[in-house]
Amino acid sequence: MSVNMAPEDTDEAGSMQNYQGHPSQPGEQFLNKRKPSYRVPNSFQGNAALSSRLSALSVWDLDNGQMTSVRRTFCLFVAFDLILTFILWVIYTQLTGDNPIWSAFNKQVAQYNFKSSLFDTVMISAARFTFLILGYALFRLRHWWVISITTTMTCIYLLGKCFLFE
């Protein structure tokens, strides 16, 4: 048995297959009905270049250039965060009671005041959306530092806003 073979790589007759699922001797393809195994041999696991390529395959489907479902879900979550923040800001602006509606938006945006306007929360959400989508969708980053930095900065800003908002 080869070093790279697992005991389950043998069929009922005891003949072995290599890691790509091809029979070890000619003529055995008619005897062996087992589906091919596409495992990576242990000898390749120490190779840094190959392991980085294999890990990149788990994030991106290189056959058709699509993202994995986890990454798509994260990007949708970030988009819904921006949309929800915008909707809550519009509701808040409506509840302030300024008529007509455009004067309320003018007061929130053009006459911005840190202590009385929540438009900056929409802008910080838009900045967070921009950085996270750029990092994880466009540049295909695989590290957590973009999420960490944007979350930390957003939390610090919003905590300050909570204490100073009238």
Segment-wise mean pLDDT, segments of 10 residues, the chain, 166 residues: 51 50 53 50 52 50 72 94 96 89 92 93 96 92 92 96 93
Query: Same domain for 82 and 38?
Result: no
- pLDDT for position 26: 57
Query: Same domain for 88 and 154?
Result: yes
- pLDDT for position 66: 77
Query: Same domain for 76 and 158?
Result: yes
- Decide: 51 and 134 in contact? Cβ < 8 Å: no
In a domain, 157, yes or no: yes
- pLDDT for position 80: 97
- pLDDT for position 18: 47
- pLDDT for position 19: 46
Q: What is the DSSP string of 37-105?
A: P-PPPGGGTT-HHHHHHHHHHHHEETTTTEEPHHHHHHHHHHHHHHHHHHHHHHHHHHHT--SSHHHHH
- pLDDT for position 166: 86
In a domain, 94, yes or no: yes
Owning domain of residue 38? 7-45
